[in-house]
Amino acid sequence: MTDATSYAAAASARLDRLWQRGRDFLGTRTAVMGGAMSWVSERHLVSAISNAGGFGVLACGSMAPDQLAVEIAGTRALTDKPFGVNVINMHPALDQLIDVCREQGVGHVVVAGGLPTGATLRRIKDGGARAMAFAPTLGAGRRLVKQGADALVIEGTEAGGHIGPVSTTVLAQEILPDLREVPVFVAGGIGRGEAILSYLELGAAGVQVGTRFVCATECVAHPNFKQAFIRASARDAQPSVQIDPRFPVIPVRALANEASKRFMEFQRDIIARVDSGVMSRDEGMLEIEHFWAGALRRAVIEGDVENGSLMAGQSVGLVTREQPVADILAELIAQAESALARRASDEASLGEVAGVMAEPPVGAL
């Protein structure tokens, strides 16, 4: 065996060990979760991620329970590998969606869109599934573990979609070293394998990747949506802006387009109407909340990239072409492994230099 092949084999074994906890928890070959993306993460992308050795997660967004049942069955027809379901905490039929997961034997349910109650986590676990939730802070993470969460996701502000205020790197440093009771998966801004490696070395059990999978060949997103991702750079993925604290706007990271420009004018117009007494504050708030209704579907499914919402993370700058899921995963793994192999080879050469230096100079004895 050459040095290079032995370093590569050692790197692969080391990576397996680093994300062993995540792989065991998910039941997969790699501890890469495909972040659920509404309209994007349906049966085709989810099964492709699971078939390639990752962990696909169905986004049920605003689906009704019977639609979710159909989508789970459809996914199961395309893969015999494990996959999960992402449910939104404030969905009016949350309990029924969880019941559908139980009836369909889903192994992992991820609750997004706010902190789940202990009752929600229990309902998931009573149905035999593992319950996962998003932890925005260390304190919240600890509470979720006490309430029964089996694993956590921490997601930084670089991510696509709804975001919190803190970067992935800071959240990871704040939470990973101190929260060891359950596996923690890191999300937000991950576009290369070296980044995955760094979070694993900080204590993550695995990662969750969204943006990088949008341009997968298997993803049903409209070609216009994918082209917008391929053309965009990191700085195009911007958070939505709230212009008046009386009218809160949930921050969402998306590619800037006509709709995001219009959203600013729209807010200004509504606020002026409220201030002049033409509209009540509640009516104004509702109008602002409704601005984006249906907008993600418009962009993802209909391909209207100017009037729809182009939710995307900053890692969109690392999306350069359409590729099969298996190639995306293989690329991420190869990057992590070659970083490990490079390090082993550098350490070996340093060892040789140190060995030479430790030898007594000729004639010294």
Ligand X SMILES: Cc1cc2nc3c(=O)[nH]c(=O)nc-3n(C[C@H](O)[C@H](O)[C@H](O)COP(=O)(O)O)c2cc1C
Positions in the binding site for ligand X (CB under 6 A): 35-38, 40, 59, 61, 86, 112, 155, 158-161, 187-190, 208-212, 311-313, 315
Rank residues 27 and 164 by Cβ distance to ligand X and give the closer one. Answer: 164
Task: State the minimum distance, in angstroms, from the CB of residue 58 to ligand X.
Answer: 10
Name the residue with the smallest CB distance to ligand X.
Answer: 210
Give 193 or 313: the residue with its C-beta nearer to ligand X: 313
Min dist CB 12 to ligand X, Å, is: 24
Could you give the 3-state DSSP secondary structure of residue 310? coil
The residue among 7 and 225 lying less far from ligand X, judged by its C-beta, is 225
Question: Minimum Å distance from CB 179 to ligand X?
Answer: 18
Eight-class DSSP state of 360: P
Instruction: Tell me whether residue 211 or residue 267 sits nearer to ligand X (CB atom).
Output: 211
Q: Is 336 helix (H, G, I), strand (E, B) or coil?
A: helix
Task: Name the residue nearer to ligand X (CB basis): 12 or 167.
Answer: 167
CA distances from residue 72 to 37, 84, 113, 222, 242 in whole angstroms, order as listed: 15, 9, 21, 22, 37
Which of 267, 315 has the CB closer to ligand X?
A: 315
Q: In angstroms, what is the minimal distance from the CB of 284 to ligand X?
A: 26
Residue 55, C-beta contacts closer than 8 angstroms, at least 6 positions apart: 26, 28, 31, 32, 33, 34, 49, 82, 83, 84, 108
Q: Is residue 45 within 8 Å of residue 220, measured between CB atoms?
A: yes
Are 229 and 211 a contacting pair, CB within 8 Å?
A: yes
Instruction: State the amino acid at position 198 in one-letter form.
Output: S
The nearest distance, CB 351 to ligand X, in angstroms, is 37
Minimum distance from residue 126 beta carbon to ligand X (Å): 22
35 vs 210: CA distance, rounded Å: 5
